[in-house]
Amino acid sequence: MKVSVVGTGYVGLVTGACLAEMGNDVLCLDVDPNKIRILEEGGIPIHEPGLDLVVARNVKAGRLHFTTDIERAVAHGTIQFIAVGTPPDEDGSADLQYVLAAARNIGRLMTDYKVIVDKSTVPVGTADKVRAAVADEIAKRDTDAKFAVVSNPEFLKEGAAVDDFMRPDRIVVGADDEQAILLMRALYAPFQRNHERLVVMDVRSAELTKYAANAMLATRISFMNELALLAEKMGADIEQVRLGIGSDPRIGTHFLYAGCGYGGSCFPKDVKALIKTASDEGQDLKVLKAVEAANDHQKHVLIEKVTRRFGENLAGKHFAVWGLAFKPNTDDMREATSRVVLAELFQRGATVTAYDPVAMAEAQRIFGDEPRLTYAENPMGALDGADALLIVTEWKEFRSPDFDRIKATLKSPVVLDGRNLYEPGLVQQFGLDYEGIGRGL
């Protein structure tokens, strides 16, 4: 099938590459010439495990192309995915300017039947707006080209994006046009594996499903984070509690890990957007507001642990920070807890040496030439002269460190672990003063 993908970011590039992998003829469009240049030169503009290989294989096979030429992209695909960003507006709602600009471009240039697929995360009612924008552009021209608008939200996670796309739990398709549903079924047939994963529903339910999924996952995390704070006070261990409740299949084991707060480009913005959508309808989403407030607080929990030990004024103190990305296996620092932790340390007068396996270039872009921030070439290199080690992201390479060396290198042997990487009893045997999140034993 001929497919165009508008927006070649995390979602667009993964969608394009994985659809090409299944034999489709895919053209990815972006307005950012820099991204397209990197892709045309054989690189990829983001860190996403395995994606470079899928891209390279399909470029070589002649099934995956990149362009900044809108006319070419609109002419190419019968199926036009819109996978542009939907960042939060000032009032928390999703900013639809990129989605609607993409829709207008398609309407302005299309000459034959198109299935226009909203892949971006968009509020309920956006498909209607996309349909109106396309129809408006078509009406300005002498053509009666037909089109359908489909909602096909994406559930991939960064760091595991290729696998998530290739082996989806479910594929949600919101549509009311029979021909479009048939085309979507055919497109996704190779991803079904051995049982039906396509969930076809009405467009508005599909749009709401995406927000419901992210809001539910964020709720689980904030709930566990609040319980972790209680566990600390009560002398209980949240890791034991997690195992104790997760074994109930009605609860399940996933997304119950307490930590120093959820970040990323999606949970924070989608929780905000759903709260705003509801309030526009006169409904107060009390649970979700609490989820957001609990997460905002959780991003400061590591700093509270620091100030409890070192005082409110941290002038003259130096800290090692392991992990800058919002989660492992990505260089993405959007809404990362590290940004809150670093900003607070700087504001209180401390200096920092940070290490992250892939996100240091991104940190340099964000923090510029911040004089209080230096970078280390490896985890141990960050510890020299530090009053404590703060662990913010659970990269695998932090999981089995040389505890003796950590003890010998730190100025005071304090390890504050925002991701519960180690067994407290074990680390304490090495003479380290170790504190995780919610480990009150």
Q: Is 286 within any annotated ligand binding site?
A: no
4 or 86: CB nearest ligand UGA: 86
Closest approach, Cβ 422 to ligand NAD, in A, equals 28
Active site residues: 266
Give the containing element (helix H, strand E) for 81: strand 79-82
Q: Are 382 and 321 in contact (CB under 8 A)?
A: yes
**Residue 30, annotated as binding a ligand:** yes
Catalog residues that contact ligand UGA under the rule CB under 6 A. 121, 154-158, 214, 217, 221, 255-257, 259, 262-264, 266-267, 326-327
The response to whether 2 counts as a known ligand-binding position is no
* Partner whose footprint covers residue 6, from ligand NAD, ligand UGA, none (CB < 5 to 8 Å by kind): ligand NAD
Q: Which does 255 bind (CB under 5 to 8 A by kind): ligand NAD, ligand UGA, none?
A: ligand UGA
Specify the residue for token string 């209607």: 128
The answer to whether 137 is a known ligand-binding residue is: no
277 contact partners, CB below 8 Å, separation of at least 6: 93, 123, 124, 211
- Write the CB contacts of 350 (distance below 8 Å, at least 6 apart in sequence): 314, 315, 317, 318, 319, 372
CB of 93 to ligand UGA, least distance (A): 16
**Residue number, 15 or 24, with CB nearest to ligand NAD:** 15
290 SS3 class: helix
- Give least dist CB 177 to ligand NAD, A: 22
Specify the residue, 155 or 346, whose C-beta has the smaller distance to ligand UGA.
155
259 binds, among ligand UGA, ligand NAD, none (CB under 5 to 8 A by kind): ligand UGA
The least CB distance from residue 326 to ligand UGA, in Å, is: 5
Residue 150: CB minimum distance to ligand NAD, A:
15
Using CB under 6 A, list all residues that contact ligand NAD.
Answer: 6-12, 29-32, 35, 83-86, 98, 101-102, 120-121, 154, 156, 158, 265-266
Q: Can you read off the two tokens belonging to residue 251? A: 């609860």
- Give the three-class secondary structure for 441: coil
Q: Is 243 annotated as a binding residue?
A: no
Q: Do 337 and 296 touch, CB atoms closer than 8 A?
A: no
Start-end of H helices in 282-384:
286-298, 301-310, 337-347, 360-367
Cβ-in-10-Å burial (0-12, 13-18, 19+) of 118 comes to buried
The amino acid that residue 173 corresponds to is V
Half-sphere exposure of 89 (CA within 13 A, CB side): 14
Q: How far apart, in whole angstroms, are the C-alpha atoms of residue 406 and residue 59?
A: 45
**In the complex with ligand NAD, which residue's Cβ is closer, 37 or 405?**
37
Does the annotation place 12 within a ligand binding site?
no
Q: What, of ligand NAD, ligand UGA, none, does residue 38 touch, CB below 5 to 8 Å by kind?
A: none
- How far, rounded to the nearest angstrom, does the alpha carbon of residue 356 sit from its chain's CA centroid? 17
Return the exposure string of 47-57: e unless at least 16 CB atoms fall within 10 Å of the residue's CB, then b: bbeebbebbee
Answer yes or no: are the C-beta atoms of 38 and 55 closer than 8 Å: no
77 vs 85 by CB, closer to ligand UGA = 85
On whether 434 is known to bind a ligand per the annotation, the reply is no
Contact 373, 367 (CB under 8 A): yes
CB of 198 to ligand UGA, least distance (A): 17
Residue ranges for the known binding site are 30, 35, 86, 121, 155-158, 210, 255-259, 263, 269, 327, 334
